[in-house]
Each structure stands twice: as C-alpha cells, then as structure tokens.
Structure 1
Amino acid sequence: MSKWDQLTKAVGELEEKKVIEILHKFINTNPSYEEVQKVIKACQAGMIIVGDCFEKGDYFVGDLIFSGELLAKVIAIVKPFLGNSSSIKKGKIVIGTVQGDLHDIGKNIFKSMVDAAGFEVYDIGIDQPVSAFVNKVREVQPDIVGMSGVLTVALEAMKDTVDGLKEAGLRDDIKVILGGNPVTKEACAYIGGDAYTANAAEGVKICRSWVV
C-alpha cells in the first residue's frame, strides 16, 4: 500500500493520530506544490469514504463533524506549502446559513471539504439576511452560492435569498446549491436552486462538476 493509500485509509477511518503522523513526516521532506496536491487528493478520497460510510449508516453526525475538523487540520498543516499560485483554486463559493437559522455544523463540514477540494471559500456565517448574501456575491463574484438551513423556516429564507439575488441581477451568473435536512427535490424547485444535498461529500462533487 502506497503512502497516499495509507493516508486515504487513515482519513476514511478517522484515525487522527495516524493522519497527523503521516503529514508531519511528509512536510519534513519540504514537498513541492505537486506533491501537496497528491496529499490533498488522498485526503479528498478519504472524505469520500467518510461520506459513503455516513450514507450506509456506519458513521453518524458526530463522525461527520469530526471528519470536518480533521480535514481543517490537514489543510492548516499543508497550506504553507501550497504557495500563492492562482491555479490552486478551482472556483469561488460563498456559503452561509440563511436568516432565522443558527445551525452551522453542516455548513462548517461543507466549508472544510470544498476548501480541500480547491475552492476559494467565503463563509458569511449563520442567520444571514438576504442583503448579506447579495452584498457578498456582488463583492467577490463567486461561481457558486451555498445556502444552509436545518429548520423548516429556512426554506422560505432560502427562497427569499434566491429572489433577492434575482432582483439584484446576480442570479444568472451563479449556481446555487442548497443544504440541510428540510431541503427536498420539490423544495429545491420551489426555492429556485440548481441543486440540493444533505451530504457534504455529495455537495462537493456537485460543485466540482460546475467549475470543470
């Protein structure tokens, strides 16, 4: 088994101590940008395993939270070796929990995963009004906007936000992905989103397909 396969396996099995050990040995070699990309890809593959295990019921929400924290640690360790090359980032994404909802676990997991996938992420936080999304989109001109919500009231807030982006003349230039348990296929259509998911790993796949 190669060291990258070992890393993927360790991430997939949430073996934090082993992941950190592998990474510290790795950075002591003063790795190149290309080598760091291999590490990130190996970790991404590990996160896909985590997502699959969650879908099968082998992992639970607590495991997803831990995987997001682990991924954040990975990024922090290898970030100094990524340099400032514009080729690092695949696209820009603005994410936030909509007004009336204070939950951020799912958003934070998704944030860590899209960051590791190569996106430039702008997290505007929780309980964010329409104006906050509109202003941030106007400011950074992202490719994607991600809206999160766990409460059923979040559905109307998501629709208001999409409508606000339309009124501001910004909707046609972006893709909108919705996240959270209340969001269904029907709700996504009602809100006006391009896609929805309750699984962070699946959400990353969708976002990556939009910027290829």
Structure 2
Amino acid sequence: MSEIFENLKQAILDGDEDLVVEYCQQVIDDNIDPVAAIEKGLIKGIEELGAKWKAGEAFLPDVMMAADALKAGLDMLEPVIAESGATGGDAKGKVIVGQVAGDIHDIGKNIVGAMMTAAGYKVYDIGIDQPAENFLAKAEEVGATIIAAGALLTTTMAAQKNIIEYLKSKNVREKYKVMIGGGPTSQAFADEIGADAWAETADEAVVLCDKLIAG
C-alpha cells in the first residue's frame, strides 16, 4: 500500500504525468483509498517539490510539470472520492475555489481544492482568472456556503476585495463566508478587506473551512 503512495509522490517530483495517471489508475483498480493516495502521494510530492523550489533546488519548469501531473492525478481521483460519499448531503459543505481576475497561477488553488476534497468537502473549482460575478454565480448555482479566492500577485490582490464588494452590492454578503489566500496576502489584508478567513497553507484552509462551517 505504502509503495503506491511513494510511487505517486516520486512521479509528482519527477513531473511525470503519464506515470501519475498510471498509478492513479492502479489506485482505482485496486480499490485503494483515494483520499490517502492524494494526501500521502500527490500532496506529499508537491509539498516536497515546493520545499525544493524555495531552497533553490528545483526550477520553474519542474514546478509547472509537477503541477500538470498533480492536476491529472486529481482529475482521476476526485470523482472517485465524490462517488464514495463526499457529495450531496454527506459532504461537510460546498466550497467554490478559484483564482481571482487577472491571476493565472493555479498550483496553490489545485492543492487547496485537493485537500478540501480529501477532507470531505464538495469542491467546485471554477479555474483561473475569474471575475467576482463568476464566484457568486457558481455559489448560487450549487448552493455553496464558502468562497475561497486565491491571488498570487500583488497586482491581483485587489480582486479579492472586489469579490467582497460585489457580494455586498448584490445584498448577499451574509450568505457566504469568504476565505482568501496566496503568496502576497496576509491576515492584515484579510481584515482590511473584510474577508472571513485567511489561510497561508492548504492545511490551514481545511481547518478554517471546518471552523467556518461550524459557525
């Protein structure tokens, strides 16, 4: 069992999308816990690569390839998790995840979405470069209670504030909990724009989601 997780982690570190797909298929075929495969395989790999990136031991092409491999793995395993009960009434809650307008960086968003899915949330990933109205439209459509908006550039942080202002303008601010995150953001910025929560890491995002859902 642990061998497949190690293989997944290494395939992410190597940025080998084909191998990730192969191992994820093995997870599905052998009825291995997909949540464990994400947490102990895919996420461990991307976290380790992130540490190498920070230490200057990995480079942007490595990160991009790993991100693509991660996405391929998540695309295969998340539907399996959904089928096994983390949907509808059994889900802890529904979360909209996306990168704000002008922001095209999706690695962090993908990791947050994966961790939230693994934690039992029904996650709706609306993608990158999304204006405020798209966050609200999706939340209204699926009945979500949490909106998680990421920004990886100082130039796109303002778009996180725009989401909150947009919700106010539509008189629905009270309906939704807004969580923000991303490299240049901070608790101080979250307080300034009136966000309900700020998470520095994907792990924190899950803990904060639990708190927001609990009330």
Normalising by the residue count of structure 2, what TM-score does the alignment of the two structures yield?
0.71
**Residues 144 and 207, structure 1, Cα contact 8 Å, conserved in 2:** no
Deviation string 1:126-182 (CA, Å, 9 cap, x unpaired) is 54433333333333333432223355443333212212224523346414123244x
CA offsets, 1:82-129, max 9 Å, x none?
462333655432233334x1x312xx2234323432143333345443
Counterpart for residue 160 of structure 1: 162
Does 1:62 pair with 2:64? Answer: no
Structure 2 unmatched runs, 5+: 211-215
Residue aligning to 1:36: 34
- CA 1:196–1:41: 2 relative to 1, 3 Å: closer
Q: Give aligned pairs, total.
A: 199
1:174 aligns with 2:183: no
Report deviation, 1:209: 0.8
8 Å Cα contact 1:142-1:174 kept in structure 2: no
Aligned to 2:134: 132
Which residue of structure 1 aligns with residue 125 of structure 2? 123
RMSD: 3.3
The percent of aligned pairs where both chains have the same amino acid is 25
> Please, which runs of 5 or more residues in structure 1 have no aligned partner?
none
Larger relative contact order (CA 8 Å, sep ≥ 6) = 1
Q: 1:92 to 1:7 in 2, by over 3 A?
A: farther
1:92/1:64 Cα in 2 relative to 1: closer, same or farther (>3 Å)?
farther
**For residues 35 and 86 of structure 1, do their structure 2 counterparts lie closer, same or farther at Cα, with a shift above 3 Å needed?**
closer
The answer on whether the counterparts of 1:91 and 1:120 sit within 8 Å (CA) in structure 2 is yes
Shift of 1:74: 1.5
Which residue in the other structure is 2:194 paired with?
192
CA distance in 2, matches of 1:126, 1:86: 27
